Every structure is written in C-alpha cells, then in structure tokens.
Amino acid sequence: MDRAQEETGFRVKFEPSGISCRGKAGQSLLEIAVDRNIFIRSDCGGKGRCGKCTVSADPADHLSPVGDSESAQLSTEQIRSGLRLACQTTPQGDVTVSVPESAREDAEGIGKTDVHGDFSCKPMVGRRVISIPSLSFSAAKAPRDFLTHVISSACDKEPAFKELSGLRAISRPECVQGEVTLVEHREKGVTAVFSGKREVSLGAAVDIGTTTLAAYLCNLRSGRILSSAAAANPQRRYGEDVISRITSANERDDGLSRQQEAVVVEINRLIGRCLEAAQAGSTDIDEVTVVGNTTMEQIFMGIHPHGLGFSPYLPVSRRSNNLRAKDMGLDLNPGTNVFVFPVISGFVGGDTLGVILWDRPHERKEVSLIVDIGTNGEVVVGNDQGLWTTSCATGPALEGAHILCGMRAAAGAVHRVRIEAGSYRVDCEVLGQEKGTRALGICGSGIIDTVAQMRKTGLLLPGGRIREGLPGVSTDEKGIGRKFVLIPGERSAAGREISIALADVRQIQLAKAALFVGIKRLMEAAGFERFDRLVLTGAFGARFDWKNAVSIGMLPEIPKKATVEVISNAAGRGAVMALLDRNRRQECIDLAGRVRFLELAEDPNFALEFAAATTFPELP
C-alpha cells in the first residue's frame, strides 16, 4: 500500500444510500460508516458479539478474510452467501457495500407520540408586549435603561436582562420605538426581545430514550399539545444500551462529542417537524424541558458518562440544570432556557421522575407498583407514605437486541405470536402488515409472547431447554433443540427464517429474572407485602401482553383486587407537565430528593434469588 492509500484508505460506496467515501487505513466498514453518519445496526457497539451489522460487498475479495468473530456469529450458509460483519471487516480495495434492510435505520418511534390533550398551564416563562414611546433628547437614556424604565412603569416590575441575547435584541433599530415583545423567564429574566407584537408562546418537551427520541410542541398559553414527533435515537450506531455508549465515549477522544452532536441534531430535526406541523417558527419557542435516563441526560449536556460505567455508578450531579439553547446547540433563540430533569441515581434518571410526576403515586393511599421496561428496567413502589425505587439490569434483550432475529418495534417486526397446542402452528402479527409489510425480525413483545406460548404448549421446558422432535424445532448434530422457527425464509422480507434460538431463551431468562427479583427485593425493602395497582410504561412495557410476562415469571402474580394500567410514554408526559406547570417542575425537583433508592448490587439476597428465578414457572 502506498503512502496515499495509507492516509486515505480505499474508496467505499454504501448502498442504498449511495454515499461514497474513503476511510482511514485499518478502519472497519462500521467505523467508516459511523464517520459518515451512515447507520448500520450494531447492538454491541462494534465488538463483534451481536451479529447484527451484516453487510455484503462487491467485489467480495476486496474485503479482509473472515475472522473468528464472524465465524462465531454467522452461519456457514451466511458466509457462503457473502454476508460479513461490518465491525470485523476492513476493505482491501475499492468496494461497494450493501446494507440489508435488517441492518438499516428504522427511523420512526412507535408509541412515543401517543400523548395528547390539555395540561395545567402555569409556565415559568411568558411573553409581554409593551409600547415604546419615542426616545427624546430631554430624557435620553441608554436603550437598556430606557426600556427598563418603560417596562417598570407599565408593569410595576423591573425586567432582568440576564441574558446577552436580550441585550443584543434591544440594540436593534426597530426596538427603539413602537411595540416590543419580551420573553421573560421567572428565573433567567428577559431571554429574548422581538420588535412588534409576537404573542405566540410555545415550548418543547423532549424525551431522550436510549432507543427512541420524542418531542412534544406545547402552547404555553393554553396548555395544549400542538404536535409531536419521534425517531430512533441516532446514538444507536454506538451501541444499543447505555453501557455500550459509555464504552464508546471512553474509547475515543471524540466519543462523547460524537454522541452529543448526534442526539442534538436529531432533537433539532424533531422540533422542526413539530413546528412545521403546527405552522410555527423556532422563534416562537420560549422554553424546553428534557427528560431521559442518567446516561442520556449527561451525554446530551456534554458531561462525560465515564463514572456511570463502574461501581458505585455515580452521576456527576443529581440536580436539575437550567441551560441556554445556544450552549446546547439547539436551533432556537440563543437565550431560551433548557430545563434538564434531576436524577435519582446512576441508573434511575429523570425519566423515572417524569413517570412519577405523571402517575402521582405519592398522592395515593393504595400501593402502586410502577414498572418502566425499556433497555433498562426501573421499578418504583410506594404510596403517600413514601416512594422507593431501583434499577434492574434487564439488558437490551427486551428491545430486541442480542436476540438472533431481534429488532426494535418498527415496521416489519413480529409483535404478537400465538402457537396452537398440538399442531404447533404459529400465527404471527407483524407491525405494518396492513400495508403489505412482511416480517423482518421480532421485537420485545413478540419475543415474550413466543417464549410464553412455547412454555404453554410444552415446546419449552422449565430450565429453558427447547424440546426436540416437535414441529418447527431444529436440532444440532448432538440432537439438542437449538431453535424454533416462527416464519420460514421464503415468507420473510429478508429471505431468511425468523426463529427463537436457545441462546435467545437464555437472554430472556436473565432479563426476566433480573426484573422479577428486583421487584421482589424492592417491595421487601419498602415493607410492602402486596400492591394494589400495577402500572406498566416504557418503550417496551406499554406494548406487550402482561399476562404472558406473568406466566413466564417476569412479573409477579397480580393480586385479585389489583388493577393493571398501561401508560404509553409516561416519562414524556412528565416532561410536558414540567414544561407547562412551574409548580409541577418544583415538585419534580423536590421528589428527586425524597425518593429512596435501593442498590441491588449491594443486596446479597438478590444474587441468591436470581439463579432460581431464571427457571420458568411450572404450568398450571
């Protein structure tokens, strides 16, 4: 390789995007794609462990030889057909790389935009229109002093120009006389000034989920949600779970800045979509609230998440933050306030406080058990006498990650499964099938359904073994059941079968045991023997059949008189409440210091009970 090639690498063209570029010498195909903002799914963050970043290339011999990681993750048939792992493959010549549909971005977030209605409206920020008389020589003052005098006379209150953006605005010629609109924040003072009458006052609530982002545009005068938009979190290219993203931030000098930029760019895009739908402009937004788990909030603020990756898993700060839009890279008025929720611990973040704020278990006499199931499992239990919370390391399997045919809940995902007893005939429902979409993979709710149905029909034994000799079961050379086929390759969108493997069952066993024992230990620590209401929320929790989750020992048995409620995106709803009502925002800040946290890693009984909980309950 000559010096020019060492500096620029070979030319790689990615399809179907059509983007052509040169990578650095020694970069993997995945690294080259990430540098060009080309999405290739990689649940493990490029470690060669998940097998999701499959690509094909032309010519195939312009790639590095197949390595051990690829041989372990890909079948002989897949390798023969030309499939490679992008994270383990480097170009050895100019090459065209085709990214299959299964590894491409699924742009829309399902369920996150299902937030509507009117909310209590007492915002932290408001707009004030005043008339400015002509500035005479006899009373000549600096524009700031003159405007301050006029406002004080009209409103019996002196405005605070704490933001430079406000001073810059009043320096403009059009603000010397006539009508002027001020955006005034209760804590930050005047954050923007506009010439003329500009009474439209909007706010944006943003939910930064590990998997999905959502934005809600609200009217700060009426308390109504005007529009919403959701999309996949672009940080997924750095790994499917928070640990992968912390690792990515640690391993590269620009690891943090890359992730922060990715999420801010997408938030700007979502807010833009909301504004377009409401026929409004970015200068109409006067405040933003942001909610997310602790890692997501820190990355958004540009705070390194390193400390969240090792014991004792401490955040840099648990307090809320008020930041400027300009400092965060948001395409809004520079001084617009951005309120970021406080957090409870390293793995119980502002999103959990958002859930509490919306559901209000601290105001109820009955005992509430709130389970927020996403890429992590947060649990809250309590009533008006106190709240307790913990985080369960369920892992990303419930979002479809680390599962052979897993994917997130998007078009093409199998999300409902029924298996007929005796014949073992499989009936699958696919997201988007009403539009002709064929199955591409299976998401979390479909995985839980499948495992529960396999257990119910006897396909799955209590220890997690797949029974051999039954229809749809494939065995290895030793006769051990390795997988159960749901959809044959000829009926799937990718041309390969969709199945549940023995390793997938093991992932679900680990996830369900972590959640089940976490709930049990939290209730014991809080002194509750039973609960009166179960609330399910989160990216996954609001979409699945909870009865199946109970049957496999993922959720506890539901007391006879207890109610079960499913709330889609309660965290986002909490972000809206904190945007629209300053009293709710203060309540959120207060709750962060009152909710008691149980660290399961320090609980010796958790480890003792975990192993037993991996088995499936006996059939009734």
Unique residue bearing structure tokens 């933001």: 163
Thinking of the domain 202-340, which architecture would CATH place it in? Answer: 2-Layer Sandwich (3.30)
Q: How confident is the model at residue 47 (pLDDT cuts 50, 70, 90)?
A: confident
Q: Which of 124, 173, 129 lies closest to 151, judged by CA? A: 129
∠ CA 254-256-259 to the nearest 5 degrees?
105
Q: Note the pLDDT of residue 4.
A: 41
Residue 344 CA, chain-centre distance (Å), reads 18
Q: How confident is the model at residue 3 (pLDDT cuts 50, 70, 90)?
A: very low
Host H or E run for residue 419: strand 413-419
Unique residue bearing structure tokens 């939290």: 522
**β-pairing, 54-58 with 84-85?**
antiparallel
Q: Pick the more confident residue, 356 or 137.
A: 356
Which whole number is the average pLDDT over 99-105?
77
Thinking of the domain 350-396+509-613, which architecture would CATH place it in? Answer: 2-Layer Sandwich (3.30)
Host H or E run for residue 355: helix 350-359
pLDDT in tens, 162-203: 555 555 655 555 555 577 788 889 988 888 888 788 899 999
pLDDT in tens, 564-586: 999 888 999 999 999 999 999 99
Token digits for 276?
């377009």
Instruction: Assess contact for 400 and 386: CB atoms under 8 A.
Output: no
Which whole number is the average pLDDT over 529-539?
90
Residue 467 pLDDT more than 60? yes
Q: Note the pLDDT of residue 167.
A: 54
Dihedral over Cα of 284, 290, 296, 302: its sign: positive
CATH 3.40.190.10 correct for 3-103:
no
Residue 399 pLDDT more than 60? yes
SS3 track for 552-573: CCCCCCCCCCCEEEECCCHHHH
**β-pairing, 386-392 with 413-419?**
unpaired
pLDDT in tens, 472-527: 998 877 777 789 999 998 888 877 889 999 999 999 999 999 999 999 999 999 99
Domain boundaries, the chain: 3-103, 125-195, 202-340, 350-396+509-613, 401-501
Token digits for 360?
């209000």
| Average pLDDT of the chain, as a whole number | 87
Q: Note the pLDDT of residue 151.
A: 64
Q: How confident is the model at residue 155 (pLDDT cuts 50, 70, 90)?
A: low
Q: How confident is the model at residue 406 (pLDDT cuts 50, 70, 90)?
A: confident
Determine how many CB atoms are found less than 10 A away from the CB of residue 163.
Answer: 24
Topology agreement, domain 125-195 and domain 202-340:
no
β-sheet bridge partners, residue 536: 371, 566
Q: Note the pLDDT of residue 137.
A: 45
DSSP, collapsed to helix, strand or coil, labels residue 129 as strand
Determine how many CB atoms are found less than 10 A away from the CB of residue 13.
Answer: 16
Fold classification of 125-195 is Ubiquitin-like (UB roll) (3.10.20)
User: Residue 137: what are its φ and ψ, rounded to 5°?
Assistant: -65, -30
Kindly give, in sequence order, each residue whose CB lies less than 8 Å from that of residue 350, ignoring residues fewer than 6 positions away: 290, 291, 292, 293, 294, 297, 340, 341, 342, 343, 571
Q: Note the pLDDT of residue 244.
A: 87
Q: Pick the more confident residue, 395 or 413.
A: 413
Q: Note the pLDDT of residue 542.
A: 64
Lowest mean pLDDT among 94-103, 298-307, 611-620: 94-103
Lowest mean pLDDT among 148-157, 301-310, 549-558: 148-157
CA dihedral of residues 361, 366, 371, 372 (deg, nearest 10): -20
Start-to-end CA distance of the chain, whole Å, equals: 67
Q: How confident is the model at residue 138 (pLDDT cuts 50, 70, 90)?
A: very low
**CA 381 → CA 98, 172, 370, 406, 601, distances in Å?**
48, 55, 6, 31, 18
DSSP, collapsed to helix, strand or coil, labels residue 134 as coil
Q: How confident is the model at residue 385 (pLDDT cuts 50, 70, 90)?
A: very high
Residue 591 pLDDT more than 90? yes
Q: Note the pLDDT of residue 1.
A: 41
Residue 38 pLDDT more than 90? no
Q: What percent of the chain has pLDDT over 70?
A: 88
607, with CB counted inside 10 A (0-12, 13-18, 19+), is exposed
**β-pairing, 386-392 with 189-195?**
unpaired
Q: Which of 103, 110, 104 lies closest to 409, judged by CA? A: 110
Q: Note the pLDDT of residue 404.
A: 83
CA dihedral of residues 499, 505, 511, 517 (deg, nearest 10): 150
Which whole number is the average pLDDT over 224-252?
89
